[in-house]
Amino acid sequence: MSAKTPPSKPTIAGKAFDWNVLRQVLKYVRPYRWQTTLAAGLSVFLGILSTARPILVRDGVDYAVVSADWQALYHAMMWLAGALVLEALGQFAFIYATNDLGQRVIKDIRIKLFGKLLHFKMPFFDKTPVGTLVTRTVSDVETMADIFSDGLLVIFGDLFKIVVMVGVMFFLFDPALVAISLSVIPLLYVATRWFQRSIKSAFTDVRNQVAALNAFVQERITGMMIVQLFTRERVEHQRFAAINTKHKDANIRSIWYFSLFFPIIEMLSAVSIGLAIWYGGVAAAAGAAISIGDLTALILFINLLYRPLRQLADRFNTLQMGMVASDRVLKLIANEADREPSGSHVAETVKGHVEFRGVHFSYLPDEPILRGIHLDIPAGETWALVGATGSGKSTLVHLLLGYYLVEEGEIRLDGVRLRDWQINSLRRHVALVQQDVFLFSDSVRNNVTVYRDIPDSLIWSAAEAMGIDEFLRGLPGGLDYDVKERGGMLSTGQRQLLAFLRAYLRDPSLLILDEATSSIDSQAEAWIQQATVKLTEGRTSLVVAHRLATILKANRIVVLDKGQVVEQGGHEELLAAGGVYANLYEKQFFGEEGLAGESA
């Protein structure tokens, strides 16, 4: 097949905080209103309870410590211990509730995202690296959970706690003392805003580098055979090191901002406490009614106040990371342009009459693959497609499967345009056997049934009818044999035999067969030939042929060259014509049992 659209590089961009993205995320919270209400209620409870400790300490100092009333001190300590236990229980319930909510929401989002991916058209997967999609579906969605477990509800709780504390401080203490103590808050706001803007850019870069790492590693592991065959280990290791360095640099950049920001917060907190002690001491010396308990409580209030203020910046950063991930995930969910088109025509039975009417197609602009293809394949016949590599054979069958849309002309099945077919109804009547067979890391049974409920007796009957039951019985465990990832425990010929059985169990009206070009042993070759005859029997079959035996059994041979049908007819007829087919036969078929070329 000719070159397709090159994979796109993973990038993200966006506003510092996108309220539109947040609104979309919150739609997924609606089914969990009571969990959200519970978490919000707990945050309010904790905000109010947080003021109890400084007040209890103030009363203990003024009414017990200063007067040396040990019984009053004991009671004050018991009240303080009770408040701490109650606060700890509230914190436990709040943390559990927010994390539970986050996991419920991301479960729904991940299921919806994967369901959307299942219906995207094939060009989307051609241009999007697998590693990028894995990042979106797994790590990006997981990052979205932080919006709930360490983001929105925690930020709401911290803000509520700050408001309550400031209000109580002004109510209990001299307003001038409180105002002077908190006079550094504007500086804290400026530092926090700078930090938010800076860290957003750093986090965006980090997520981009994570996606790039995933895509690179996934692709190299999948293609490890080629990497080793061409002795690319050192070069690929260097390329990975370069990508990993970018990932490290992106993280170091975010660490630099954190390392600068938190000391600033600690310094401002210390200045605030210093101002409280200075002004309180001066006021007390001047005869103001400020007790030791008041100053102690005020210092505790300032410490408790700066804790959520310090954490707010971190919470907003967590929220921003979640928003960055959410933007990427939600854009994928909202993507309708890449959704597989589907018509409305549904048919319970299909005869298998296929027509190509002036079909033109290209993967890239100005690089045509098919040019004006005209074919009329009667129902029940087997047609063989032959041609040199890149002639458009595999592209032709991919168009028939609806994986790609024709640019000009049309394809019809039983007189109905392919674009008018309901896509699932169309594919329900079609089976595909590829030369590069894909098998799941699972049992033979689940691979040939594709997880459908088909009795073992029917599987064995089909295997016997195709003459491959001996092969299946020879596998350790038979139908229970685990073929491992991509069928790695089987040979090329054995994988194709399972693909034949999978197609036979589907009982299609239209069969598309792309014969394997790899060398296989004589026993597998015999099984494949027998299976091919049985599988094509009585149904319309379009075969990208690489074996002379298959070509000779075809009702008609179609010869493709540079995306055009240059010849078609029977074997003897085409040989006598002395054209492209005769030349191919002379070079590749004559004296051989199979064709060694590759499909387009």
Write the pLDDT tens digit of every residue in 18-38.
788 888 888 999 999 998 999
pTM of the predicted model over 0.75 = no
Q: How far apart are alpha carbons 344 and 163 in whole angstroms?
A: 58
pLDDT in tens, 323-377: 888 888 998 888 887 777 778 888 888 898 999 999 999 988 878 889 999 999 9
Percent of the chain exceeding pLDDT 90 equals 13
Chain-wide mean pLDDT for the chain?
82
More confident residue, 353 or 554: 353
pLDDT value of residue 17: 58
d(CA 443, CA 449): 10
Lookup result for tokens 């100005």: 366
Residue partners of 337: CB distance under 8 A and separation at least 6? none
Token pair listed for 138: 């797994």
The whole-number pLDDT of residue 353 equals: 93
Q: Which of 151-165, 193-207, 492-506 has the lowest mean pLDDT?
A: 193-207
| Alpha helix ranges (H) inside 485-599 | 492-506, 522-536, 548-553, 571-577, 580-584
Longest dimension (CA), the chain: 121
Decide if pLDDT at 397 tops 70. yes
Helices 233-285 and 185-222 cross at an angle (nearest 10°) of: 160
27, amino acid identity:
K
* Whole-angstrom distance, CA of residue 333 vs CA of residue 110: 10
Residues 243-267 have pLDDT tens digits of 888 888 888 888 887 777 778 888 8
Q: What pLDDT was estimated at residue 589?
A: 62
Q: Which among 361, 392, 364 has a CA at the least distance from the CA of 514? A: 392
Question: Which neighbouring-strand residues pair with 120?
Answer: 339
Is a pLDDT exceeding 80 seen at residue 574? Answer: yes
Per residue in 43-92, pLDDT tens?
A: 999 888 888 888 888 777 777 666 666 777 777 788 888 888 998 999 99
| DSSP 8-state symbol, 350 | -
**Which domains are seen in the chain, by residue range?**
19-334 (1.20.1560.10), 354-589 (3.40.50.300)
Q: pLDDT value at position 599?
A: 38
pLDDT at position 68 is: 64
The first and second tokens of residue 485, run together, are 């990832």
| Number of Cβ within a 10 Å radius of residue 79 | 16
Helix (H) / strand (E) element for 544: namely strand 540-544
CA dist., res. 27 & res. 31, Å (int): 9
Residues contacting residue 222 through CB under 8 Å, at least 6 positions apart: 130
Alpha-carbon distances of 173 from 176, 273, 452, rounded to whole Å? 9, 15, 73
pLDDT grade for 201, boundaries at 50, 70 and 90: confident
In this prediction, residue 66 carries a pLDDT of 61
- Give Cβ neighbours of residue 216 (< 8 Å, ≥ 6 apart): 131, 239, 240, 243
CB 445 within 8 A of CB 479: yes
Contact present, 207 and 216 (Cβ < 8 Å): no
Mean pLDDT calculated for residue range 537-545:
86
